[in-house]
Amino acid sequence: MALVPPPSAAAPRPTSIQDPTPKPAPQLLEGVEMESALIYEADSKTPHVLRASFAGKEHARFWIGVGTEGMQARLLRLRSGEHVFALKLDSAESVELDGAQRDEALAQLELRRALLQFESFTWKGEDLARTAALGPLGSLRARFETRQSTRPSELEFVDPKGHVQDSYRAIRWDATGPRPVPSTLELWHEAERVWTETVRRVQPMTATRDAFWPHDRLQGETPPGTWKVIQTPSPEYAARRFRLPANATWASARKEIERLHSEWTPRLAALGLELEKRGTLELDERLQPRVVVLRLASVVEKLPEGFERVAGRSAVGTPLEGLEQVEAGALRALREKVPAGVKPGAPYVRWALDPGGPKQVLLLLSWISAK
C-alpha cells in the first residue's frame, strides 16, 4: 500500500485552450493545500515533491513529482465524491479504481486528510490513543505524546483485520498560525520507512470541481481545467510596484493600470523613457489582483525614482483566453512544473494593452534558478 512510484514515468501533455467562448463561472470549493519535499529511503538523491489538496471530505488530489526542470509526474490520485481515479503513468489516460485498489487509494487519501483536517474526523478512545472509523475501509488511529497534546505524534491506517498498513510517524507540528499544521513527519509502510517529509507550505485554496477530475474525462473539446504549460524565461527588467486596495477587483485593477499609464507616460517621456505596452498584475493565492507593476520598455543605468531593477529568472506560464479563465486549476498546473527546491514568487498575469481589453492573457510563476 505504500506510495512508492515506479522508476520512470512521462508526464502527460496537457491540451491547449482553443475555444474563446466565455463559459459560466464554475462553482468554487474552499479547501486546503499542502506542499512537501520528500526524501525516499530507496532513492535519497532524487528530489521529490508532494502536493495534496482537499476540499471538504469528498474532494481530494494527491500528486507526487520528481526531477528538476520539466518535472515528471510519478503518482496521481483524484477523488470526486464516490469516484476515485489514478493516472496511467505511461500516458495521459486515467483509470477509475474499484474494489481493493479503490479502498487502498481512499485509505491513503483519508490518512493524508487527517493531517490537514484533523478535527473533521470523529475521534473516540483513550486520551493518548484515539480511533476514527472509516467504515468498510478500516479505521485511523491517532497516538499522542501527552494528555495536553492537541495533535498526534503518530497517525496510522488500520485495515479491517486490525493490521497497521501505512502510518505517519515522528510528526512535528507548527502551532504559530491559527491552527496547527504539520512541519515534518515520516511515512512508514508496516515496519519499513518509505520517506521523510518536510512540509513547505499549508494554505487555504479555492478550486473548481474540475480540479479533482481527470482531464481526459471532462466533457467538451476544451475542458476547463486543461492547460498548456510553457517555459517562458523572464529577462531582467525595471519596474515600479503599486499596491491595490484590499477590495480590488479585475475591473478596478484594469482601470488603475490605465490611470497609472496615463500618469507616468509623460513623466517618463521627459526623461527619454517609456513604459512597455503591456499590463502586469501580481495576484494573491486566491488569484485576486493585488499589485500593479509598471515595467519600463528597457533597462537603463539610472532608473527613475521608485523604479527597481529585477534580475532575470526562470518562469512557466499558461495562455488563457481572457481574465475570466484565471482560476486555481491553472495555477496548480504551473506549480507542478516548478522545480523541486525552489520557491516561486507570487503568481502574476500579463497581457497586451490593446484597445478593447485583454484578448489573451498569460498566467505566470517565476523563480530564481539555483546556481
264 in the same domain as 358: yes
Does the residue 282 lie in any domain?
Answer: yes
Distance CA 70, CA 49 (A): 13
Q: Do 63 and 197 have their domain in common?
A: yes
pLDDT per residue rounded down to tens, the chain (371 residues): 556 554 333 334 333 333 444 444 445 678 888 989 999 999 888 888 898 999 999 999 998 887 543 345 568 899 999 999 998 665 668 899 999 999 999 999 999 999 999 999 999 998 899 999 999 999 999 999 998 899 999 999 999 999 999 999 999 999 988 889 999 999 999 999 999 999 998 888 777 787 888 877 876 434 444 577 887 878 889 999 999 999 999 999 999 999 999 999 999 999 999 999 899 999 998 899 999 999 999 999 999 999 999 988 888 888 887 888 888 888 988 888 888 778 889 999 998 887 766 667 899 999 886 54
The verdict on residue 8 lying in a domain is no
Same domain, 114 and 164: yes
**Contact (CB, 8 A) for 367 and 346:** no
Domain that holds residue 83: 28-217
Q: Which helix (H) or strand (E) element contains residue 104?
A: helix 99-116
Name which of 86, 141, 77, 143 is nearest 109 in CA terms: 77
Using CA atoms, how far apart are residues 371 and 138, in angstroms rounded to an integer? 48
Number of residues in the chain: 371
Residues 346 and 197 in one domain: no
Q: How far apart are CA 350 and CA 232, in angstroms?
A: 12
Q: Is 148 helix (H, G, I), strand (E, B) or coil?
A: coil
105 shares its domain with 128: yes
Q: Are residues 239 and 291 in the same domain?
A: yes
Residues 190 and 266 reside in one and the same domain:
no
CA atoms within 13 A on the CB side of 179: 10
Question: Residue 310 belongs to a domain with what CATH number?
Answer: 3.20.80
Q: How far apart are CA 159 and CA 169, in angstroms?
A: 17
Query: Do 204 and 331 fall into the same domain?
Result: no
Burial class from Cβ neighbours inside 10 Å (0-12, 13-18, 19+) for residue 64 reads buried
Whether 5 maps to a domain, the answer reads: no
- Separation of alpha carbons 20 and 22, rounded Å: 6
- Specify which residues 112 forms β-bridges with: none
Looking at the fold, whether 41 and 112 belong to one and the same domain comes out as: yes
Number of domains composing the chain: 2
**pTM of the predicted structure, to 2 decimals:** 0.60
Instruction: State residue 90 phi and psi, 5-degree precision.
Output: -105, 10
Are 236 and 200 members of one domain? no
Q: Which residues contact 24 (CB under 8 A, 6 or more apart)?
A: none
Number of CB atoms found within 10 A of residue 369's CB: 13
Whether residues 316 and 203 share a domain: the answer is no
